[in-house]
Structure 1
Amino acid sequence: MSAYVKDTTLSRNTIMRRIVEISSDISKQISCNTTNSKYFPLTLDENCDITNNPQLSIFIRNVNCKFEVTEELGTSTKDGAPCMTSKKIGFVNLLAEFLNRKLNNYHCIIRREALCAKILKFDHFLKPVSQCINKIRAWPFNHRLFRTLFNDVIHESGELLLFCEVRWLAKGKALERFWNLKDEVIEFLEINNELPGECELLRDINWLNDIAYLTAILGHLNILNERLQYERNIFPVLVDTINSFMSRLCLFESNIGMGNLDHFVRLKSIYLPTDISLTSFKNHVSSLYKSFQERFSRFKEEEI
């Protein structure tokens, strides 16, 4: 068969016509499956292509009476962009007008989780860490020298990572690497007489307590974010994952109140009860829980 296909002579017009026919047939199959379904969820994603033209991707999950994964429209998930949510020209509103009924629409769960994490107001702690990392990573000579001096430790713990505001996981990963190499960073900066103020902070136990806590909480948020991005996750699984994390936050708050730091291993390794109070950490976890509770309140109301 393959040999026959290879020997078949096809003109450009024939190839183009066949591609159009295949595309038309796929569209008809999708339309037929959707029409024969009673309910179906709809997920939308808009991105601009290389020519800066917006491209809308529509993902449909159908389930018919034979339980074949292929329903009238039940749910749409959006990312909060104006083209999706605008009251006049937004897709959700236009679709509701076309169907002449109210739709159940949900904000992208991963995006909403990222917004919850925005309440982590620790920029005054992250700035010194970022300066230490940049002093080593941004200068090629310093980076090569650091790798040469501490090659064994770097091989075990990994390289220092630069912070990135765009990528949701970047701060947590960068802070984790920095914590694992903090002693080496102090030694390197002191040898080169660099950033004396930051070196002094790195030896301050109260400041280290805050960094240890922040590293742990960002690590927990990163694990949640990665779980939300598992392949073939369906909506109920995503909701269960969020609810499970909120339960963990309640546990964290309760444990910190009792002085139990088992879920904050780095903080437990350096924490001294006489140094600081755990009240600020407990209040911070409580604020994070309230943020999740507010942004995901609809799930509780609708008992999904």
Structure 2
Amino acid sequence: MVKLVLGEKSAEKLNAISLSNNAVQRRISQISDDIKEQVILEIKRAGLFSIQLDESTDVQSCSQLLAFVRYVHDEDLKEEFLFCEPLEQSTKGEDVMQKLTEFLESEGLDWGNLCGICTDGAPAMLGSQSGFITRVIQKAPNAIPLHCMIHRQALASKTLPSELQDTLNTIIKTVNFVKVNCLYSLNTRLFKRLCQDMDAAHETLLFHTAVHWLSKGNVIQRVFELREEISLFLRIQNKQDLLSAWSADSFEIRLAYLVDIFRQLNTLNLELQGKGSLIIDFVDKIKAFIRKMENWRRKVGMGNLAMLETVSEIVEECDATTQNLITQHLEALEGEFKRYFPDIQSLTSRLIRAPFTAPVTCIPDDNDDGQTELLTLQEDSGAKMKFETESLTVFWSSMAAS
């Protein structure tokens, strides 16, 4: 209107005026409400849906309940962020259940259409008497509960023998000593200047957080690359307690092994992430990692360290002490993975990945309708052509829709 009445220059001046805070906030709220309305409508059209919940604490120490939803849309699986609600008081199973119930009822979503619920392994979630999962099953008896596989993998990865745990603690104490108060630390500036004078590949160490436990892998990698500079810096600063630990026998070998094993764990953790990931993919990767550990343990017992690249760089032959330490950790790590994934062998993906060659007995005999549907599907030439040309999610979503 201004352009038509007053001209181009006046319109440009008007465009330069900043919107008020309320106007910006109102537009963001309108966009958010519109997106939520579309997601809710798609969920209702899809019928079945599954939810993943997690309780986290923000920077202001307030507990927030996050929910993500997965459903079928346009003959494919779709994932969306569902809601974020604060947990004002406690974070018990009943509090989580109350927030979820209020949201589903306010949006008109039917509990009977909830087919899957995924949470972490906290007692508030998995408690057999008053846990969140127990309350959900009472409302949605057909929902399949699942303990998040990424969370289980992170918990299983934490096992360390006492010698390796002591080495890790020394590394953390060293990093904290160098980076105390971070930007304003004299030690940080002195260490940076030392690295510059020694033409080091890096000039700073990295911090880690307890929440992202596997980030220790990046910390350890950087410490190993700057181990000579760190040792000299500790000597200059006369930090005898840390220096004595760094000078201990086999400390460098243990440090190198931590670099290698954390690299493998970090790789696995990243493989279990990503949009559109399926549990059958997770199962395959976990099974493969367990078999890798068995193979690594066998090779270490023979004195072969080829798979441990960093350790191989600093030692030519593996002595008995190092062999025992690595074998002990790999055996314990393998045991933890099997403990956190007791159902890993029973979870089969043959029916999902190869429905046209899977035997009818892969479905229990008491499920006659399921066996009948499988036999009908295997003789459907059109479905077979679609299976060969489409992804698994698109194929099965289209079969469910039909």
1:219–1:53 Cα change, 3 Å: closer
Structure-2 change in CA distance of 1:135 and 1:88 (3 Å)? closer
Q: How far apart are the structure 1 equivalents of 2:122 and 2:208? A: 26
- Kindly state the Cα deviation for residue 278 of structure 1 after the two structures are TM-superposed: 0.4
TM-score (norm 2): 0.61
Larger Rg: 2
Q: 1:133 is matched with which residue: 175, 178, 183? A: 175
Q: Is the 8 A contact 1:205 1:275 kept in 2?
A: no
Report what 1:169 is aligned to: 214
Counterpart of 2:271? 227
1:104 to 124, 134, 144: 144
Aligned-pair RMSD on alpha carbons?
3.7
- Distance of 2:122 and 2:279 partners within structure 1: 20
CA distance in 1 between partners of 2:198 and 2:215 (Å): 21
Greater Cα shift, 101-110 or 30-39? 30-39
Counterpart position of 1:187: 232
Unaligned runs of 5+ in 2: 4-13, 16-21, 79-111, 350-402
Matched, 1:294 2:335: no
In the TM superposition, residue 261 of structure 1 has moved relative to its aligned partner by 1.0
Query: CA 1:74–1:254 in 2, change beyond 3 Å: closer, same or farther?
Result: farther
Unaligned runs of 5+ in 1: none
Letter paired with 1:214: L
How far does residue 159 in structure 1 lie from its aligned partner after superposition?
1.8
Match of 2:77 in 1: 69
Residue by residue over 1:26-72, the C-alpha shift from the partner in whole angstroms, topping out at 9 and shown as x without a partner, is 54x545544454643321223456887755433222226x7243594
- In the alignment, the residues of structure 1 paired with residue 192 and residue 168 of structure 2 have an alpha-carbon distance, to the nearest angstrom, of 23
- Number of aligned residues: 293
SS state at 1:59 partner = strand
Query: Aligned pair in 2 of structure 1 residues 168, 182: CA closer, same or farther (>3 Å)?
Result: same
Q: Deviations over 1:237-283 (max 9, x none)?
A: 33333223223222221221221212212211222445734022112
Change (3 A) 1:294 1:230: same
Shift of 1:181: 0.9
What amino acid is aligned across from residue 252 of structure 1 in structure 2? W
Tell me: CA distance 1:151–1:62, structure 2 relative to 1, closer, same or farther (3 Å): same
Residue among 250, 260, 281 paired with 2:326? 281
Partner in structure 1 of residue 204 of structure 2: 159
1:284: how far off?
1.3
Superposed, 1:192-271 pairs within 5 Å as 192-195=237-240, 197-271=241-315
Amino acid paired to 1:159: T
Q: TM-score, normalised by structure 1?
A: 0.79
Q: Secondary structure at the residue paired with 1:299?
A: coil
Match for residue 158 of structure 2? 118
Q: Percent identity?
A: 25
1:130-172 alpha-carbon deviations (Å, 9 max, x no partner): 3333332227222212211221667624521235333212322
Question: Helix, strand or coil for the counterpart of 1:133?
Answer: helix
Contact 2:196–2:203 under 8 Å retained in 1:
no
Describe the shift of the 1:52–1:160 C-alpha distance in structure 2 as closer, same or farther (beyond 3 A).
closer
The answer to whether the 8 A contact 1:46-1:56 is kept is: yes
**Could you tell me which amino acid in structure 2 is paired with residue 45 of structure 1?**
D
- 1:143 and 2:188 matched: yes
> In structure 1, how many angstroms separate the alpha carbons of the residues matched to 2:171 and 2:114?
49
Change in Cα spacing, 1:158 to 1:170, as seen in structure 2 (3 Å) is: farther
* Between 289-298 and 266-275, the greater mean CA deviation after superposition: 266-275
